[in-house]
Amino acid sequence: MSSSEFLADLNAKFYDKALLANQKRLYKRSGRVESAEKPIDKSNELVLLM
């Protein structure tokens, strides 16, 4: 494996890891991850029927 191939592989792994961390952060920020102690309140949800 040449150094350029190694760097490309390292860059791809870093990108995947950063993307996953960002997705987790946004998912938590959106409020979709509820703690086990908190009951899920569905009274505020809006249901759209088409």
Quote the pLDDT of residue 34.
52
pLDDT digit string (tens) for 1-50? 799 999 999 999 999 999 998 888 888 877 765 555 555 555 555 556 65
Quote the pLDDT of residue 42.
57
Domain boundaries along the sequence of the chain: 1-29
How far CA 24 is from CA of 5, 20, 39, 43, 45, in Å, comes to: 29, 6, 21, 26, 22
Whether the model clears a pTM of 0.85, i.e. scores above it, the answer is: no
CA–CA dist 16, 10 (Å, integer): 10
